[in-house]
Amino acid sequence: MDRPIVRTPGRAAASNPANRYDRLRSETEDEAFGYDDELPVLRTEVSEEVPRRVLTFNSSPDLPFDRSVNAYRGCEHGCIYCFARPSHAYLGLSPGLDFETRLIARPDAARILRKELASKSYRVAPIAMGTNTDPYQPVEGRYAITRSLLELMAETRHPVGIVTKGRLILRDIDLLAGLAEQGLVRVGVSMTTLDADLSRRMEPRAPAPAMRLRMIRTLTEAGIPVRVMTSPLVPGLTDHELERMLEAAAEAGAVAASWIMLRLPLEVSPLFRDWLAEHYPDRAARVMARVREMHGGRDYSAEWGKRMRGEGHYAGIIAQRFKAAARRLGLDRPQPELRCDLFRAPRLDTRQGDLFGDPC
């Protein structure tokens, strides 16, 4: 059996499997390490990129937005269930440990987005942030890319929706409160469990459940509308907590709620199965049986309209439970649309000062 080359405390993935585009495989050999138990700890690495554009458009019929911005690629929260893990394969990296330890930051994201918003062909609609990786993961404390994007949103009065489980969002309450006053922002806080031990195992570098409830309370007290997102629900592991999570979020001030079932696309499935076998071996078979029941006997089906919720008897019961609890708690009331009529295109500095000096 191959010996590890690093220790991985605080990480959810236990391995770094090759991504689906790799043509070569590498293996470690016992002899190369001399059976030394004092292995180095795997640290987070951050590299930077300057993309040509940061707005990503989609036409998916089961998504409530058609454009998004991601300040980072990869996510240090390390949630084992994260459906975005396979996106790291496009970078030639593993959806396993690489996804949570080898991050890509986009420090110029706001500058590039400014150009995109200034285009004469641009038509305003809410921009989603946090759709692939968390905009308030720990590295945001160092880069503040998400804050620079919000500053641009405030300047241009552009509507924005944010999904996060990161406590760093509280740093930006000044910007968010101003956007909320104008009907320009909505925040979704992801809640997966109220069990701190389970959360620590499943999403090791994300804030504890109690902190997320405090985030909801602090944001709502500042006038920022918050939706609690009980996502993903893990059958046989967290599904029994659904009503209690909604109750706790409503008590903290959430005004709306949503849910998504566990999704295991591509490389996520073997990573999640390995995690289950290590942390909850007594429940692993039951969890995966439920998952496959909702996807026609497979670990995952990417079919639009079904990929988020699954189908069948069990999926129907969860949908009914959520609907009943949300109605009882007042979390099913329609929320006002984010305003698009206030948008003003940003101005670009077209001076040639860098080349010819400042104009007189």
The torsion of the CA quartet 79, 110, 177, 144, rounded to 10 degrees, works out to 50
Find, among 8, 152, 191, the residue nearest to 71 by Cα: 152
More confident residue, 349 or 218: 218
175 pLDDT more than 70: yes
Give the mean pLDDT of 79-100: 96
Following DSSP, what letter does each residue of 315-358 receive, concatenated?
HHHHHHHHHHHHHHHT--SPPPPPP-TT--PPP-----HHHH--
Q: So what's the pLDDT on residue 13?
A: 87
Whole-structure pTM value: 0.91
CB contact burial 262-283 (16+ within 10 A = b; e otherwise): bbbbbbbbebbbbbbeebbeee
Beta carbons of 142 and 79 less than 8 angstroms apart: no
Task: Give SS3 for 31.
Answer: helix
45 pLDDT more than 50: yes
The fraction of the chain above a pLDDT of 70, given in percent, is 91
Adjacent-strand bridge partners of 103:
46
Sign of CA dihedral 335, 190, 194, 280: positive
User: Would you place residue 351 in the very low, low, confident or very high pLDDT band (cuts 50, 70, 90)?
Assistant: low
Lookup: tokens for 8: 């991985």
Which domains can be identified in the chain, with CATH numbers?
56-68+124-332 (3.80.30.30)
Question: In this predicted model, what pLDDT tens digit does every residue of 184-223 receive, in sequence order?
Answer: 999 999 999 999 999 999 999 999 999 999 999 999 999 9
Lookup: tokens for 51: 């993309």
The torsion of the CA quartet 151, 154, 157, 160, rounded to 10 degrees, works out to 70
